[in-house]
């Protein structure tokens, strides 16, 4: 995977894809499926909502770090199944044939099969709403997946896959941050 | 527009579309374009990030209410332009030929040209991250737009339009809330 500028983190979160979140609780790597995320700034800030019903929640609270990975649409069924079973008694990397790769700034693993991986440090937890705030510390893109499509969850068990791309840079050139 | 159950609110936010947010500051209706949102629960809770650089920010802070509307892809250029100019000296409804309709639980207007409109009351503002927390008080769907596609912002001036739909309810039936 190729490292790119931190500002690129938002380009993987702003479109609203389903993401995989990996953790390492000092004993075991785990991965969960999440679709409630948003950017909070242009410097890699990300908000993510989850709660104690997820086994990964304890690992997040304890280690204060994770990797947010963007799965391509061709593994949609796997992504749903990852979200449907608990990692408490399962090694989901092995069960779903996902390849964990070492990250650099966090102990949670990257996922080789994903389009991009964001190494993230938790900076805050807003308990009232179950909102985790992360700061992206490293952005990696998988150059062999760049033409793949993201998955968007409707929330009712149906999903939408990325369709047509539109380049509208000329309409909003004055609003775009440099380097993006 | 047809009113539907509050739980449907998340089905318009979870997929990560670009949204239009309307406000009424007791003098003037306004509308802005936002793409940093996420659900926070299954009862219509929504988080939205913005800041004082938006003219609508003051109206949100003052009135503590808004409408979050989901524009269809066929008005993409208009949606970008709405985000590119300030409402301070412009009547954007008139300029962009948008039809404001009266809401019921808030003073901000619905937008007739949108696929769905969520009437929202602000319940909190987390200043450190610019995160507004809203509670959806009413969900309206535009039955003439149900087959239209949502817009997803990449954040760099390019956009992705909804593509193929996948029904995976059978894979996650045990995780779906009733009524959704």
Selected for mutation to probe chain B from A43, A44, A155 (highest B CB count within 10 Å) is A155
Q: Which residue from B minimizes the CA distance to A127? A: B40
Interface test with B, best of A154, A167, A177 (most B CBs within 10 A): A154
Which pLDDT score, from 0 to 100, does residue A175 have?
80
Please state, rounded to an integer, the average pLDDT across all residues of chain A: 95
**What is the reported pLDDT for A136?**
98
Q: Which two tokens stand for residue A92?
A: 């989901």
Tell me if residue B73 falls in helix, strand or coil: helix
Whether the pLDDT of residue B7 is over 90: the answer is: yes
Give yes or no for residue A111 having a pLDDT over 90. Answer: yes
Q: Domains, chain A, ranges and CATH?
A: 2-175 (2.30.110.10)
> Which pLDDT score, from 0 to 100, does residue A48 have?
98
* Chain B residues in contact with A5 (beta carbon < 8 A): none
Chain B residues whose beta carbon lies within 8 Å of the beta carbon of residue A159:
165-166, 168
Distance CA B157, CA A176 (A): 7
* Chosen from A163, A170, A175, A180 to mutate, greatest number of chain B CBs within 10 A: A163
Give A172's Cβ-side CA count (13 Å radius): 27
ipTM: 0.95
Provide mean pLDDT across the span B77-104: 95
User: Could you tell me if B130 and B51 are in contact, meaning their C-beta atoms sit under 8 angstroms apart?
Assistant: yes
- The pLDDT score that the predictor gives to residue A146 is 82
pLDDT at residue A173, as a whole number: 82
* Residue from B36, B47, B35 nearest B10 by CA: B47
The rounded percent of chain A whose pLDDT value lies above 70 is 100
B29: helix, coil or strand? strand
In percent, the amount of chain B with pLDDT more than 70 equals: 100
Rounded to two decimals, the pTM is 0.96
Residue A179 has pLDDT above 90, yes or no: no
Q: Is the CB of B84 less than 8 angstroms away from the CB of A169?
A: no
Instruction: For residue range A24-37, list pLDDT tens digits in order.
Output: 998 999 999 999 99
Cross-chain CB nearest to A84 (options B14, B129, B172): B172
Between CA B151 and CA B148 the distance in angstroms is 10
B24-54 pLDDT, tens digit each = 998 999 999 999 999 999 999 999 999 888 8
Q: Which pair of tokens denotes residue B152? A: 């997803």
Rounded Cα distance between A62 and A82, Å, is 21
Q: Are B129 and A47 within 8 A, CB to CB? A: yes
pLDDT score recorded for residue B67: 98
Q: What is the pLDDT of residues A26-78, one digit of tens each?
A: 899 999 999 999 999 999 999 999 988 888 999 999 999 999 999 999 999 99
């Amino acid at each position: 995977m190729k490292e790119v500028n931190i500002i690129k983190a938002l380009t993987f979160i702003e479109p609203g894809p389903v993401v995989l979140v990996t953790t390492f609780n000092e004993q075991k790597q785990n991965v969960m499926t999440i679709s409630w995320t948003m950017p909070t700034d242009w410097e890699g800030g990300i908000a993510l909502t989850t709660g104690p019903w997820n086994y990964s929640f304890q690992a997040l609270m304890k280690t204060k770090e994770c990797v947010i990975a963007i799965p391509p649409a061709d593994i949609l069924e796997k992504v749903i199944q990852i979200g449907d079973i608990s990692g408490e008694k399962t090694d989901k990397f092995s069960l779903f044939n996902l390849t964990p790769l070492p990250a650099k700034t966090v102990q949670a693993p990257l996922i080789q099969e994903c389009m991009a991986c964001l190494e993230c440090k938790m900076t805050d937890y807003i308990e009232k709403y179950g909102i985790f705030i992360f700061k992206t510390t490293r952005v990696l893109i998988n150059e062999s997946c760049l033409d793949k499509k993201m998955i968007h969850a409707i929330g009712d068990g149906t999903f939408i896959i990325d369709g047509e791309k539109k380049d509208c840079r000329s309409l909003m050139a004055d609003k775009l941050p440099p380097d993006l």
